[in-house]
Structure formats: structure tokens, C-alpha cells
Amino acid sequence: MRFNEKEMVHLSRQPSEMVAELGMRGPKKGDVVKRRLVKLVVNFLFYFKTDEEEPVGALLLEQCRVEKEDNLTFSVAFLEDAERKYLFECDSEEQCEKWIDSIIKASYEFMRRNLIFYRTEIHRLTGKDPLEQYGISDEARFQVTNGLQHSSRDASSM
């Protein structure tokens, strides 16, 4: 499967408030803890070997389960698969909780759900749709039912 690796590497170099060296353990049995520079950029968690320019890998933070494992450790797991659970060891409980919070809030789908909630509530409380001002009320992206059914397909696909 192809992905735009060069552009992703470029993305991994963008500024981020959530960057730290953490102990990271891969998901496979027998994987050991390694020090990695972990960096949150948009909805990706990049991890680098210290002092390397290019990330070792990237975790896409959508539909993943983020959990606190103990006071200093959190996990990010995918597909309910034990072989796809990554562990991260922090230096303090505060740091651990900050990472958990940040990762959850970085998810595109999390933001979308919040948007739909605020939009609906504002409309309910004021009678006005806050997206109208921007002319984007009809975009599929912001509809309440988006996700329950497929958005309208391109006419050209028929």
C-alpha cells in the first residue's frame, strides 16, 4: 500500500507542543522498551531514534484506544489487537496524563464529534446555526448524520 512518505516526514518536522523522550515498547511479544523521541503532530504520533532526522514510524491516532496502564505508563492500541498495543513510559504522572489527554483530543473524529455537538447546542440555544456565517452549513463533514450513512457520492461516479 502506498502512502506519501516524503510528505509525512516533512509533517513530522512541524512544530509541536507535545514532544518528549519516552520509553516506548513495541506491540510484539519480546519487544523491549527503547528510548524514543515521541512527537504528536496533528493526528499522528511520530517516534524517532534520538538525534535522527527521519522518524522510525508513525501511529495514526484514529479509532485507537488510549489507556493509562499505571502511574507513569500509557498505551495506544489498535483494532482490539494485543499485538497492536504500544506502551509509553513517562517521567511523571502529570506528563503521562497530559499525553493521554493530548492524544485523545488530537483525533480528527473526536474533533468532529465536538464540532457537531457545539453546532447543535448553539443552534438549540440561539435558534441560529453557527456555521451559516461561514457558508459551510451544508458540508457533509459537519452533518449530524454523517457517519450513520454515506455522504452523497459524486454524480460523476454514476
Partner 1 sequence: MKIDEKVVSYLESSNSPVDKEGYLYKKGDIRPSYHKRWFVLKGNLLFYKDHPDDRDLIGVIVLEGCTVQLCESEEQFAFSLVWSEPGLRPYKFAAEDQASQESWIKALLSANHGYLSLLVMDLEKKYKETLAALFSDPANGAAAAPNVGRELSPHLPTLTRHPAGALAAGPSASFIPTLQTPAVPLKSTVKRSPKLWPKRTANVTPISGPAPPAGDWSAVCSGTREEFSKLHADFGKEVKDLIADWSRSGRAGPVAFQENLIDLSSFE
Shortest distance (Å) from residue 134 CB to partner 1: 5
Q: List the one residue from 14, 49, 82, 91 that touches partner 1 (CB under 8 A).
A: 14
Query: In the window 70-129, what residues touch partner 1 (CB under 8 A)?
Result: 78-79, 84, 97, 100-102, 104-122, 124-126
Shortest distance (Å) from residue 73 CB to partner 1: 11
Distance CA 98, CA 17 (A): 11
Shortest distance (Å) from residue 23 CB to partner 1: 18
Query: In the window 24-63, what residues touch partner 1 (CB under 8 A)?
Result: 40-44, 54-60, 62-63
Write out the three cell numbers for 104.
485523545
| Cβ-count burial 46-84 (b if 16+ within 10 Å, e if not) | bbbeeeeeebeebbebeebebeeeeebbbbbbbeeeeee
